[in-house]
């Protein structure tokens, strides 16, 4: 999959249409890799951020449920950036792994 760079911290995937906001350091790392001969590069998954509607779709819950989880300190960890609620990929994976079950009975 080829990634194209856009000005200042935005990476767009032409086939998926997803726009990812990444930290400046990660953006510079990717540019340096391209300058050093890499044919393509992708942002590290732990630096990807998702909006509440994207997370609600991923977890198959409503946005209202996510908001309720935030107010009761349940659900995946989130960050607030300029009034926006964002979820990091690493936090989503941690939440999913923590809630993975092998059966209906509790582990002993």
Check residues 78 and 40 and name the one with the higher pLDDT. Answer: 78
Together in a domain, 59 and 94 = yes
- Domain count of the chain? 2
- Provide the residue range defining the domain that includes 53: 48-98
**What pLDDT does 46 receive?**
57
How far apart are the C-alpha atoms of 13 and 4, rounded to whole Å?
7
In a domain, residue 38? The reply is: yes
Query: CA neighbours within 13 Å on the CB side: how many for 54?
Result: 14
Considering only CA atoms, which of 18, 34, 17 is closest in space to residue 26?
Answer: 34
What pLDDT was estimated at residue 60?
92
- pTM confidence score: 0.56
Q: Are residues 57 and 37 in the same domain?
A: no
Question: Is residue 23 included in any domain, yes or no?
Answer: yes
**Cα separation of 99 and 75, whole Å?**
10
pLDDT tens for residues 4-17? Answer: 444 444 455 544 55
């Amino acid at each position: 999959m080829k990634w194209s760079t856009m000005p200042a911290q935005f990476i767009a995937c032409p086939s998926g249409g997803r726009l990812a906001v990444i930290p400046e350091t990660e953006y510079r790392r990717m540019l340096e890799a391209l300058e050093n001969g890499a044919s393509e590069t992708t942002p590290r998954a732990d630096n990807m951020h998702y909006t509440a509607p994207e997370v609600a779709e991923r977890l198959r819950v409503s946005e209202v449920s996510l908001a309720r989880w935030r107010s009761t300190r349940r659900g995946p960890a989130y960050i607030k950036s300029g009034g926006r609620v964002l979820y990091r990929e690493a936090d989503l994976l941690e939440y999913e792994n923590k809630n993975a079950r092998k059966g209906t009975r509790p582990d002993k």
